[in-house]
Amino acid sequence: MQPLLCPGGYGVPVKAGRYKVCQIHGIIDAGQSADVHIVDDGTLEWSDSMGNLLTSKTSNQKTLFRCKGYSSTDGHLSVTFSEPVDVKNGMSLIEYTGIEPGTLLVYVR
Protein backbone atom coordinates (compact mmCIF):
# COMPACT_ATOMS: atom_id res chain seq x y z
CA MET A 1 0.00 0.00 0.00
CA GLN A 2 1.09 3.54 -0.71
CA PRO A 3 -0.62 6.88 -0.05
CA LEU A 4 -1.65 9.20 -2.87
CA LEU A 5 0.62 12.25 -2.56
CA CYS A 6 1.06 15.52 -4.39
CA PRO A 7 4.55 16.45 -5.68
CA GLY A 8 5.14 18.34 -2.39
CA GLY A 9 4.58 15.17 -0.35
CA TYR A 10 1.20 16.07 1.16
CA GLY A 11 -1.80 13.75 1.19
CA VAL A 12 -4.12 14.38 -1.77
CA PRO A 13 -7.47 12.60 -1.69
CA VAL A 14 -8.60 14.14 -5.01
CA LYS A 15 -6.89 12.37 -7.89
CA ALA A 16 -8.11 11.22 -11.27
CA GLY A 17 -7.32 7.68 -12.41
CA ARG A 18 -7.99 4.05 -11.54
CA TYR A 19 -7.11 2.84 -8.06
CA LYS A 20 -7.80 0.10 -5.57
CA VAL A 21 -8.38 1.92 -2.28
CA CYS A 22 -7.34 -0.11 0.78
CA GLN A 23 -7.40 2.42 3.62
CA ILE A 24 -8.31 6.05 4.38
CA HIS A 25 -6.91 7.89 7.39
CA GLY A 26 -7.05 11.49 8.63
CA ILE A 27 -6.30 13.47 11.80
CA ILE A 28 -9.06 15.63 13.29
CA ASP A 29 -8.25 19.22 14.31
CA ALA A 30 -8.22 19.69 18.10
CA GLY A 31 -11.63 20.67 19.44
CA GLN A 32 -13.35 20.16 16.09
CA SER A 33 -15.94 17.87 14.59
CA ALA A 34 -14.93 16.31 11.28
CA ASP A 35 -16.88 15.26 8.21
CA VAL A 36 -15.30 13.66 5.14
CA HIS A 37 -17.20 12.49 2.04
CA ILE A 38 -15.16 11.05 -0.85
CA VAL A 39 -16.78 9.88 -4.11
CA ASP A 40 -15.75 8.02 -7.26
CA ASP A 41 -16.40 10.89 -9.68
CA GLY A 42 -17.81 9.79 -13.05
CA THR A 43 -17.55 13.35 -14.40
CA LEU A 44 -13.73 13.24 -14.51
CA GLU A 45 -12.07 12.88 -17.92
CA TRP A 46 -9.07 10.62 -18.61
CA SER A 47 -6.97 13.71 -19.29
CA ASP A 48 -7.68 15.16 -15.82
CA SER A 49 -4.92 14.80 -13.22
CA MET A 50 -6.91 15.98 -10.19
CA GLY A 51 -10.40 15.45 -8.84
CA ASN A 52 -12.84 18.18 -7.86
CA LEU A 53 -14.17 19.86 -4.76
CA LEU A 54 -17.92 19.41 -5.15
CA THR A 55 -20.92 20.95 -3.41
CA SER A 56 -23.37 18.07 -3.89
CA LYS A 57 -23.52 14.47 -5.11
CA THR A 58 -25.00 13.59 -8.52
CA SER A 59 -25.96 10.28 -10.11
CA ASN A 60 -22.50 10.10 -11.78
CA GLN A 61 -20.78 9.78 -8.40
CA LYS A 62 -20.53 6.74 -6.13
CA THR A 63 -19.79 7.23 -2.42
CA LEU A 64 -16.50 5.57 -1.41
CA PHE A 65 -16.17 6.92 2.13
CA ARG A 66 -18.39 9.01 4.40
CA CYS A 67 -17.32 9.46 8.00
CA LYS A 68 -17.93 11.90 10.84
CA GLY A 69 -15.97 12.15 14.06
CA TYR A 70 -15.03 14.30 17.03
CA SER A 71 -11.57 15.04 18.35
CA SER A 72 -12.78 14.63 21.93
CA THR A 73 -13.61 10.93 21.38
CA ASP A 74 -10.84 9.92 18.99
CA GLY A 75 -8.41 12.17 17.13
CA HIS A 76 -8.44 9.99 14.01
CA LEU A 77 -10.84 9.21 11.19
CA SER A 78 -9.90 5.87 9.74
CA VAL A 79 -11.34 3.02 7.70
CA THR A 80 -9.65 -0.13 6.43
CA PHE A 81 -11.58 -1.98 3.75
CA SER A 82 -11.66 -5.77 4.01
CA GLU A 83 -11.46 -5.90 0.20
CA PRO A 84 -9.95 -3.05 -1.83
CA VAL A 85 -12.54 -0.68 -3.31
CA ASP A 86 -12.19 -0.11 -7.06
CA VAL A 87 -12.11 3.53 -8.18
CA LYS A 88 -12.86 3.67 -11.88
CA ASN A 89 -12.66 7.40 -12.65
CA GLY A 90 -10.94 9.20 -9.78
CA MET A 91 -11.78 10.67 -6.41
CA SER A 92 -13.44 13.98 -5.59
CA LEU A 93 -14.44 15.53 -2.27
CA ILE A 94 -17.94 16.66 -1.37
CA GLU A 95 -17.33 17.42 2.29
CA TYR A 96 -14.00 18.05 3.99
CA THR A 97 -14.23 19.83 7.34
CA GLY A 98 -12.35 19.56 10.61
CA ILE A 99 -9.35 17.63 9.24
CA GLU A 100 -5.80 18.94 9.68
CA PRO A 101 -4.49 20.05 6.27
CA GLY A 102 -2.37 17.44 4.48
CA THR A 103 -3.23 14.60 6.89
CA LEU A 104 -6.04 12.91 4.95
CA LEU A 105 -4.26 9.98 3.32
CA VAL A 106 -5.81 7.56 0.85
CA TYR A 107 -3.80 4.34 0.67
CA VAL A 108 -3.99 2.50 -2.65
CA ARG A 109 -2.58 -0.59 -4.29
pLDDT given at position 60: 86
Are 4 and 108 in contact, with CB atoms under 8 Å apart?
Answer: yes
Section 81-85 average pLDDT: 92
- Backbone phi and psi for residue 14, each to the nearest 5 degrees, phi listed first: -115, 95
**Poorest-pLDDT segment among 8-17, 37-46, 98-107:** 8-17
Provide CB contacts within 8 A for 57, sequence distance 6+: 37, 39, 63, 94
- In this model, does residue 55 exceed pLDDT 80? yes
Distance CA 51, CA 12 (A): 10
Residue 57 has pLDDT above 90, yes or no: no
| Gyration radius from the chain CA atoms | 13
109 within 8 A of 51, measured Cβ to Cβ: no
In the predicted structure, residue 10 carries a pLDDT above the cut 80: no
Mean pLDDT of 18-33: 88
Taking the mean position of all CA atoms in its chain, how far away is CA 14? 7
pLDDT of residue 23: 92
